[in-house]
A and B are shown apart, each in its own frame.
Chain A
Amino acid sequence: MSDTERLFTTYHAALVRYLTRRLGDRDWAEEIAQETFVRALRQEHLVNERSWLFAVATNLVRDEARKDIRRRRHLALLAEETRDAYVEGPDVEMERALDAGDARRALDALAERDRQALLLREEGLAYPEIAEILDIAVGSVGTTLSRARRRLTEMYEAQVTARAQRGHHAAS
C-alpha cells in the first residue's frame, strides 16, 4: 500500500466525520475532505500527517465560511428543511433527527475555537496536535476543552428542555 493509500485509508473516515460534525452537511464535508487530500498529495513530506490533515481541513472550513457565508446559510436552510422532512418519518428516525438538531444548535452556540477543539478531541487528536492546529498553547487545551464541554452540555440540555416545553404546549 502506498503512502497515499495509507493516508487515505487511515484518515478519510475520521476526517469526513469531523467535517460532517463541524459543518452539518455530509456532502460539504466530503468536498472539503477531498480538497484536503488533494493538498496532501501535493506535499513532499508530512511530518505529522494527522494534525496536518485536520489543520488543513479546519482552515478550509474557515476559509469557506469566510468567503461563502451565503452559501453556508443556504446549505443550513436546506439541511433544516431536510431535517424537518425527517420529522415525518418513523418515531425512531424522528427522535434521532430531533436529537441531531439539538446537538447542532448546541454546537453552533460555542465559540469557534471551543467548537474546533471539541471536535478535534472527539476524533482522538492529542493535546499537542490540537494546540498546533488552533495555534494555542498546549497548556490551554485542557481549559479550552473543559469550557467547551460544559458549554455544549448546558446548551444541549437547554435545547432539550425547550423542545420538551414546546411539545407540552402543543399537546395541551
Chain B
Amino acid sequence: MPLPDEGLIHAWLDEQLPPDEAARVEQLVATDASWAAAAAEARGLIAATSRIVSALDHVPAGVMPKRKAAPAARRLPWWTKAAAAVVLVAGASTVVLRRSPELVVATVPEVERAPKVQAAQPGSTQAATVQVPSAQTPSRMRASVPRPTIDIPVRVATKDALPKPAMTDSSPSQRAFNSARLTMQEVVTTAADSGRQSALATGEARRASTRLTDLVVTGVAAQRTSAKPEAATSLVASAAAPVPAQKAVGGVAMGKSLDAVVRPGACYRLHDSRTSAEVGTVMRIGRMDGDTLRLESVQVASPLRAWVVLRDGTARGVLTTEAEGRGMIMVTALPASCPVP
C-alpha cells in the first residue's frame, strides 16, 4: 500500500481527479486505515478552511480615503480663443516675415505689402500659398522689375486633405466619429491660420460638440443597495447614429482618434438603462488614457467614479460608488452640459 498522498486526497475530495484516479483513491481510503485517517483529516481541514475564509467576509468598508472629484475644467469664453488665435497668427507671421531674406523697411504702399492669400479650393489636397513680398528691391528698380514673391505654403486643412483615420470600420457610428474627428481637426488647423477663421473655429467646435450627441457612453454602474449587490440591469446603447450590437466582449479599439471628440472635462449624465431613470450626478471626464475614460462626479467628494472604454461609437465600462449600500446596475451615459461651478 502506498503512503497517503495528502495532495491527492485533497484533489479527490475537491472532485478534481479524473474518474479512474478518483476510483483508485476511493478504494485506498476504503481499504487502508492510514488513507482513511488522512482523508478524514483532509475533510476537516477543508471544512475549517471554508469557515475561516468566510469569516474574512466580515470586513468593514469605507476605510479607503475618499477621493475628491476632479476639479472642473476651466472654460474660457469664445472671444479669448479668438484673441489667442489672432496673437498666435500675428506672432507666426512676424517670425515668417523676419525669416525672409533681406526684409527691410517698407517702402511700398501698405496695400502692396499685404500678403495675397490664394486659398485652396474646397476639397482639394493642394496646399494654399501666401504670397509675401520678398526682399524689398531698391525703389529705382521697382519701376521696371516686377517684384518677386516667395510662396510660403500654408496648409489649409480640408476634409480630403486630412489624414484618414487608421480605423477601417465603416459602420455608421464609426463614420460619425470619423466625421466629428475630422471636424475637430479642421478646427484646430484652421484656427491656427487666422484670427478670422478662429471665429469660425469656435463655431466649428460648437458644431463638433453638438455632434457629441452621436456618442453614447455605456457603462456599468455600481450602486450600493443594501439587499442585492449583484442586481444588474440591462444596458442598451442608443445613439443618433445607429450603433452595431456588440456580440462579444471588446471590439475594435478606437485608440486616440476619439480624443478630439471626447474632450477632457466633457460631462455625461448616467441613466439606468432598464428604467431610464437618472442615476447619480453629472459625471465629468477626469482622465483620458488612450481609449479609456475616467468619469468622476462633478460634485466634490461624491462617491461615484467610473472607467469606460470607448469602442465602436460607444463607451462601456464600470461605474462604482463608495457610498453605503453598494450594488451594481448598468447605465447609459449621455452627453450633458457641465454644471456651472
Contact surface of A with B, Cβ cutoff 8 Å: 1-5, 7-9, 12-13, 16-17, 20-21, 24-28, 30-31, 34-35, 37-38, 40-46, 49, 75, 78-79, 82-83, 86, 96-97, 99-100, 102-104, 106-107, 118-119, 121-122, 126-127, 139-146, 148-150, 152-153, 156
B152 interface residue per 8 A CB criterion: no
Cβ-defined partner of B55 (8 Å) among A79, A100, A139, A148: A100
Say yes or no for B337: interface residue by CB 8 A criterion. no
Q: Is the CB of B48 within 8 A of A40?
A: no
Which B residues contact A (CB, under 8 angstroms)? 6-11, 14, 16, 42, 45-46, 48-50, 52-53, 55-64, 220, 222, 229-230, 232, 234-235, 245-251, 253, 291-292, 307-309, 311, 316-318, 320, 322, 326, 328, 330
Neighbour of A150 across the interface among B45, B247, B328, CB < 8 A: B45
Q: Helix, strand, loop or mixed for chain A's interface?
A: helix
Contact at B64–A43, with CB atoms within 8 Å?
no
5 cross-chain CB contacts under 8 A: A25-B59, A45-B249, A142-B16, A145-B10, A153-B52
Q: Which residues in A have their C-beta under 8 angstroms from that of B55?
A: 96, 99-100, 102-103
Q: Chain A residues with Cβ under 8 A from B52's Cβ? A: 103, 106-107, 152-153, 156
User: Distance in Å from the Cβ of B309 to the closest Cβ of chain A?
Assistant: 5
CA distance A82 to B60 in the complex (A): 7
Q: Specify which chain A residues have a CB less than 8 angstroms from the CB of B45 in the assembled complex.
A: 146, 149-150, 153
Q: Please judge, given known A-B contacts A34-B318, A40-B249, whether A96 and B63 are in contact too, CB under 8 Å.
A: no
Contact A146 B248 (CB under 8 A): no
Say yes or no: A31 contacts B320, CB within 8 Å: yes
- State in angstroms the CA–CA spacing of A41 and B317 once bound together: 7
In the assembled complex, the Cα of A118 lies from the Cα of B8 at a distance in Å of 16
B8 near A103: Cβ-Cβ < 8 Å: no
* B307 contacts A34, C-beta separation under 8 Å: yes
Q: A119-B53, A153-B49 are in contact. Are A3 and B246 (CB under 8 A)?
A: yes
Residues of A within 8 A of B58 (CB): 96-97, 99-100
The residues of B that contact A5 with a CB separation of less than 8 Å are 220, 232, 234-235, 330
- Contact A7–B63 (Cβ < 8 Å): no
Instruction: Decide: A43 near B222, CB < 8 A? Known: A25-B59, A152-B52.
Output: no
A141, B230: Cα distance in complex, Å: 30
- Known A30-B326, A45-B248; judge A17-B64 contact (CB<8 A): no
| Majority-rule SS of B interface residues | mixed
Given A30-B222, A79-B59, A127-B16, the answer on whether A4 and B246 have CB atoms closer than 8 Å is yes
Q: Give Cα A139 to B230, complex, Å.
A: 34
Contacts of B16 in A (CB 8 A): 126-127, 141-142
Residue of B nearest to A80 (CB): B63
Residue of A nearest to B46 (CB): A149
Closest chain-B Cβ to A22's Cβ sits at a distance in Å of 9
Docked pose: A146 CA to B46 CA in angstroms:
8
Q: Report Cα–Cα, A64/B180, bound state, in Å.
A: 38
Among B53, B292, B308, the most chain A Cβ lie within 10 Å of the Cβ of B53
Closest chain-B Cβ to A90's Cβ sits at a distance in Å of 13
Report how far A104 CA is from B308 CA in the complex, Å. 33
Query: In whole Å, how far is A57's beta carbon from the nearest beta carbon of chain B?
Result: 13
Q: Inside 8 A of B61's CB, which chain A residues have their CB?
A: 25-27
Question: Which residues on the A side are within 8 Å of B320 (C-beta)?
Answer: 30-31, 34
B248 A127 Cβ-Cβ under 8 A: no
Closest A-B pairs by Cβ, 10 of them: A143-B7, A142-B11, A142-B7, A26-B61, A27-B64, A103-B55, A149-B45, A82-B60, A100-B58, A21-B56
Is A35 a contact partner of B42 (Cβ separation < 8 A)? no
A12 vs B7: C-alpha distance in the bound complex, in angstroms?
A: 30
Q: Which residues of B contact A37 (CB under 8 A)?
A: 220, 317-318
CA distance A72 to B235 in the complex (A): 35
Closest chain A residue, CB of each to CB of B306: A34
**Chain B: CB-nearest residue to A153:** B48
Residue from A21, A121, A146 within 8 A of B57 (CB atoms):
A21
Bound-state CA distance A31–B253 (Å) is 23
Instruction: Closest A residue to B233 by CB, please name it.
Output: A5
Do A86 and B60 touch (CB < 8 A)? Answer: yes
A121 nearest CB across to chain B (Å):
7
CB distance from B332 to the nearest CB of A (A): 12
The reply to whether B53 and A118 form a contact with Cβ atoms under 8 Å apart is yes
Query: How close is A64's CB to chain B, nearest CB, in angstroms?
Result: 12
Residues of B within 8 A of A8 (CB): 220, 232, 318, 328, 330
For B59, give its contact among A9, A20, A106, A143 (CB under 8 Å): A20
Asked if B253 and A42 sit within 8 Å, CB to CB, the answer is: yes
- B50/A27 in contact, CB under 8 A: no
